[in-house]
Each structure stands twice: as C-alpha cells, then as structure tokens.
Amino acid sequence: MPTPRINEAYENLTHFLTITVVEWIDIFTKREYFEAIAESLKFCRENKGLLLYEYVIMTNHLHLIVRAKEGFKLSQIISDFKKYTAREICKLLATDNRRYILNLLKNSFSKKEGYQNQLWQRENYAEPMTSGKFLDEKITYIYNNPVKKGFVAKSEDWLYSSARNRILGDHSILRVDDLEG
C-alpha cells in the first residue's frame, strides 16, 4: 500500500518515489532547472549513499526508483535532497526574475511554518518494491511519463529520463545503478 512517507520498517527496500512541486506548479521549464535537480541527484548518488535505478524529471514532479546503500537512510537522503534543491531552485527563480512563481511558493497552502518558500510538497508518494512485476510496471510508467504528456514521441527522447541510459546507453545527464536480481 502506498504511503506518503518512507516507512521505517521498509527503509532498506527499493522504493518508487514521486516528489512533487507544491500546487503542481510547472517550474522546471528551462534546462538550468532540470540540471539543478540532476546535479543534486548525482551528488546524493556519489556522496550520500543513494542507489538511483530509474528516474524521470518532469516539469513539476519527478519519479525515482531508488534505495539507500547499507548504512544510509533513504528518508534522510530524500530530505536532504529536497532541502538543497528547494534552495537552489529558489535562487534560480530569483535570478530568472520569476517572482510570480516565488510568490506562489511563498503563499502555498502547504508551506511549512518558518520556511520562506516551500518548493516541494511535504509528503512524498513512497511505495516499496514488493515484486518484479510491480517494479516492471513502475519502470514502464517512468519511461512513458513524458510520452503520455506529449513532450516526446519516444521515451528515450526525453533528456531527463533513465530511459536514455537504458535504451541509448546515454549517461551524459546522470548515471544510474544496475538493478540487482
């Protein structure tokens, strides 16, 4: 059953995660926004114990299939990722003179008290991988997300998706880890 948070009992399992911008605002509409997300995922993968198996970065959310390496907590990695990317994206929005979006974030109904801007919804959609069939369904879902939205004709054409890694062997945006088993 899906949970809004990573259940501590399932912390060591591979998870399908959806991380969504508050109010579903289309913020990631320029290359530098996508790159900020990709760079942070890369940092988490290389320095924080994140195993990144599949991903897609859309204009207002991202889907990940991930797990934490032994000795790391997935919930902490994702929390750090969200905090860092919120700061970086808000800096980009200010530099880009997208004050109307900053204003939307500032006035978001889901804003956490004490925060100036709330980029991400507080809760994540987190589902532990319980079977190979379920994993295959989520991989297909990730690959087809940009196609379904009409952004590209083929999943591997979306620049910010692991479909490029798996289908084209293109690791120029992010490297992904091999799924075990």
Looking at the 3D structure of the chain, how many domains does it have?
1
pLDDT tens digits for 45-98?
Answer: 999 999 999 999 999 999 999 999 999 999 999 999 999 999 999 899 888 777
Q: Give percent above pLDDT 90 in the chain.
A: 71
Among 62, 105, 63, CA closest to 87: 105
The domain in which residue 164 lies consists of 8-168
Task: Tell me what the mean pLDDT of segment 4-32 comes to.
Answer: 85
Residue 2 near residue 134 (C-beta atoms within 8 A): no
Domain membership of residue 57 (yes or no) is yes
pLDDT tens digits for 113-169?
Answer: 555 668 899 888 999 998 999 999 999 999 999 999 999 999 999 999 999 999 999
CATH classification of the domain holding 59: 3.30.70.1290
Residue 25 near residue 104 (C-beta atoms within 8 A): yes
Q: Provide the pLDDT for residue 2.
A: 41
Task: Tell me what the mean pLDDT of segment 103-118 comes to.
Answer: 64
